[in-house]
Structure 1
Amino acid sequence: DNRVANHSRCPYGQRFNRNIGRCAPADQVPCH
């Protein structure tokens, strides 16, 4: 699953934000 791969490449403490299509600080990504 590409989403998992993208997520795994995010820098530590960041998450892949599907809304913007890139990694973002975890505190900026909706929990859902």
Structure 2
Amino acid sequence: KQLIMKQKELEEKLHSLQYAFQHKLTSLNL
């Protein structure tokens, strides 16, 4: 059960990283 929680936490971190990266790319393009 704890493993699933850790996996969810990692996925959320990855999503926020991806979002920040895309945001940085778009601001660079502009």
* Shorter-chain TM-score range: 0.3 to 0.5
Q: Considering only CA atoms, is the larger Rg found in Structure 1 or Structure 2?
A: 2
Give the TM-score taking structure 1 as reference length. Answer: 0.31
Larger helix percent:
2
Give the TM-score taking structure 2 as reference length. Answer: 0.33
Larger strand percent:
1
Higher RCO (CA < 8 A, seq sep 6+): 1
